[in-house]
Amino acid sequence: MKKYFVVILAFFTFCSNDADISTDLSEIEKDIIQTEEKIEDLENKDSLTPEEEQELENLEEQFEELEEDLDEAEEELEEDLDEAEEELEEDSQVTEEETTTTSAYQKGGILDVAGSGSEFYKREVTINGVRIVAAGNVGGQQAVPDAFLEKVARMVELFTDPNGDGIDANAQITFIKTLKGDPGTYHAGIPTLQRVARGGGDDYSSNFLRSPESFNLDDINDSTFNNDMVWYLNSSGEGFGKGDVDAAEVLEHVFHTIHMSGLDALALKQYSYLSSDWASGPVYAAMKEAYDGGLWDSEGYGGDAWKTDPEMFEIAQKEYLYLLNFGMFEYTSLWENGTLSPEWNDSMRTPSGILTNNPLGHELYNTYIAPVISKPDLSTIRDIFQDGDVGDPTVAGSSGY
């Protein structure tokens, strides 16, 4: 017992701040040793006087009481040790979670990448798994301003806010790791690229979308997961310079990018090269419900060809997911006159309307999108995208990046 006691006491003294218990245990052990020595001295005598017999009896009773005190103290010590071990384990888990979170959420500054790689993109910034590249002074066009690049980055940052309502921390970390192309994700080693250029493809000589080799773009296109463009001062759109129009342009195409490269593509069966049964997934079912009900019109991108053609399915689902997310976030007031009908029926502009008319879409959003994509307030978006940007984003709101 003494050896066990000393080992426990030594360990406790090393790892605990409770000096009172250590002192109590030490005093009890000393009393036990002293009492035991007195008992042995009396028992070794040939004969005892009546007074010594009484003393021996008292000492034996005292020894029993001290042993009980020692047992109680050891039990208390073991309980404290168990609590200390649990706290150490919890601290270790917290540290591991903090490390995982830190490695997932990463915010970079704008970098000058002229001369390193393509001849087209000159500036870039990486935020939470998305590498955003901006065209420079090339092909007869002016460069995308840094301030606009920061506004695009800020929207990615807001959509990946870990403190957003309803966000599942673990699910969002997986979402960001997927965007990054981390090991174990479905496009591992192929990081997400958000491209930003000015005006439109035909405003460049030559059109870099049709002739990427003209600007040495093949390598960056082939080594990244790039799905969509954000256009600064979109020359094919209407009303650039109006804050809501500019915001809608950025939000639509950022949604295209993060939906198509960050969501759970296997569970959603987003791609035929991953899921041969792509036409049996939850995205397909939600799209079919909305289309067959006359609530979503995909005429502008192939009509109903997506029902049988996997390539058209990718194109159509990109648009459907953006429209669904816009309605569930209630961002539709950013559209001209608050409507995009007939492409998206006016009855589908709110969560309640989507629940009533496209319940499979509502379920898809709540299961796969809401846990990972945060919803910034519309007022925050309108602060970033104000009226007046016809070439200088700084006059139309600060990015806050």
Single-letter amino acid code for the residue at 173: I
Q: Are 52 and 45 in contact (CB under 8 A)?
A: yes
**Strand positions, DSSP E, 192-337:** 192-198, 225-232
Residue (of 118, 325, 154) closest to 230 by Cα position? 154
**Cα distances (angstroms) measured from residue 354 to each of 69, 100, 291, 296:** 69, 36, 13, 11
Among positive and negative, which fits the CA dihedral 395, 194, 258, 165?
Answer: negative
The letter for the amino acid at 49 is T
DSSP state of 381: H
Cis peptide before 235 (omega within 30 of 0): no
pLDDT of residue 93: 59
pLDDT of residue 137: 96
The model's pLDDT over 105-141, given as tens digits with 9 standing for 90+, comes to 999 999 999 877 789 999 999 999 999 999 999 999 9
What's the pLDDT score for residue 60? 84
Query: Would you state the pLDDT for residue 38?
Result: 84
Query: Which pLDDT score is estimated for 375?
Result: 98
Cβ pair 383, 399 in contact under 8 A: no
For 178-205, give one letter per residue: b (16+ CB within 10 A) or e. bbbbbeebbbeebbbbbbbbbbbbebbe
Nearest to 88 by CA among 193, 189, 6, 15: 15
How many Cβ atoms sit within 10 Å of the Cβ of residue 304? 15
- Tokens at 350, concatenated: 């709110």
pLDDT value, residue 7: 39
Cβ count near 146 (within 10 Å): 16
Q: Count how many residues are written for the chain.
A: 401
Give the tokens for residue 183: 């090991």
Angle formed by the axes of helices 169-180 and 243-262, nearest 10°: 90
Using DSSP's 3-state secondary structure scheme, residue 76 falls into helix
Kindly give the parts of the chain with pLDDT less than 70.
Answer: 1-23, 90-102
Residue 93 contacts residue 101 (beta carbons within 8 Å): no
Q: What is the pLDDT, as a whole number, of residue 21?
A: 60
* 8-state DSSP, 153: H
Q: What is the pTM of this model?
A: 0.76
Q: What is the largest CA-CA distance in the chain?
A: 119
Q: Which residues contact 37 (CB under 8 A, 6 or more apart)?
A: none
